[in-house]
């Protein structure tokens, strides 16, 4: 996995190639200022496309890791929700009638995330057990509220510079 992420991290630095090509291709037609702006836009667009592909690959890896941990430790039905933050992910797992296996699932997920090197990318992990799929909206609101409260507490604890 690290090889694929390293590939994307290195590929981002090739953004200067489309920028230079755009600059050189438009210099005679539009002049230096417009060619520079178009070159910068091409470089930024390439950077953003590669970054989005990197984030998509990371999201797939996180979801596969969590799914594998759940399937390995239990036969509970589940829903995995990933939300992208600037620099990390919020991972939520909604278990359906997991019963007594919740603790085992939780430990397995944590160990798999840590073993696969995803700990730095998963900033927040939340898990809930539901009786039925119809409770999903209620649990999402509850988790959003908990997350907001934790963020407010963290903000109050950090000293201002």
pTM, whole model, 2 decimals? Answer: 0.79
pLDDT of residue 46: 95
pLDDT of 103: 87
Residues 81 and 143 in one domain: yes
In a domain, 68, yes or no: no
Residues 106, 139, single domain; the answer is: yes
- Read off the pLDDT of residues 46-94 as tens digits, 9 standing for 90 and up: 999 999 988 898 899 999 999 999 988 888 889 999 999 887 898 999 9
Residue 62 included in any domain: no
Tell me which of 155 and 65 has the higher pLDDT: 65
Model pLDDT, residue 124: 87
Residue 37 lies in a domain: yes
Instruction: Say whether both 81 and 49 belong to one domain.
Output: no
Task: Show contacts of 50-59: CB within 8 Å, 24+ apart.
Answer: 50/8, 50/11, 50/12, 50/15, 51/8, 51/12, 53/8, 54/5, 54/8, 54/9, 54/12, 55/84, 57/4, 57/5, 57/8, 58/5, 58/89, 58/118, 58/121, 59/84, 59/89
* Structural domain contains residue 146: yes
pLDDT band at residue 23 using 50, 70 and 90 as cut-offs = very high
CB 78 within 8 A of CB 95: yes
Give the model's pLDDT for residue 33. Answer: 95
Please indicate, yes or no, whether residues 29 and 84 belong to a single structural domain of this protein.
Answer: no
Question: Per the structure, how many domains does the chain have?
Answer: 2
- Tell me, yes or no, whether 83 and 41 share the same domain: no
Q: What are the pLDDT digits (tens) for 93-145?
A: 998 888 788 888 989 999 999 998 888 889 888 898 888 888 888 999 999 99
pLDDT of residue 118: 87
Mean pLDDT of the chain: 88
Same domain? For 119 and 149 the reply is yes
Q: Containing domain of residue 13, as a range?
A: 2-54
The CA distance from 86 to 112, in Å, is 23
CATH number at residue 82: 3.30.300
pLDDT at residue 38 greater than cutoff 90: yes
Residue 87 lies in a domain: yes
């Amino acid at each position: 996995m690290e090889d694929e992420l390293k590939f994307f991290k290195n590929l981002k630095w090739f953004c200067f190639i489309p920028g230079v090509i755009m600059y050189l291709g438009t210099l005679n037609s539009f002049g230096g200022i417009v060619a520079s702006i178009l070159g910068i836009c091409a470089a930024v667009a390439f950077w953003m496309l590669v970054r989005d592909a990197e984030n998509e690959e990371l999201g797939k890896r996180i979801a596969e890791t969590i799914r594998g941990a759940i399937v390995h430790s239990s036969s509970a039905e589940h829903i995995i929700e990933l939300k992208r933050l600037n620099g990390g992910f919020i991972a939520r797992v909604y278990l359906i009638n997991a019963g007594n296996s919740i603790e085992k699932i939780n430990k397995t997920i944590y160990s798999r995330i840590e073993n696969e090197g995803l700990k730095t990318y998963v900033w927040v992990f939340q898990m809930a057990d539901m009786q039925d799929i119809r409770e999903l909206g209620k649990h999402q609101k509850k988790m959003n509220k908990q997350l907001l409260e934790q963020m407010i507490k963290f903000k109050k604890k950090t000293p201002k510079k």
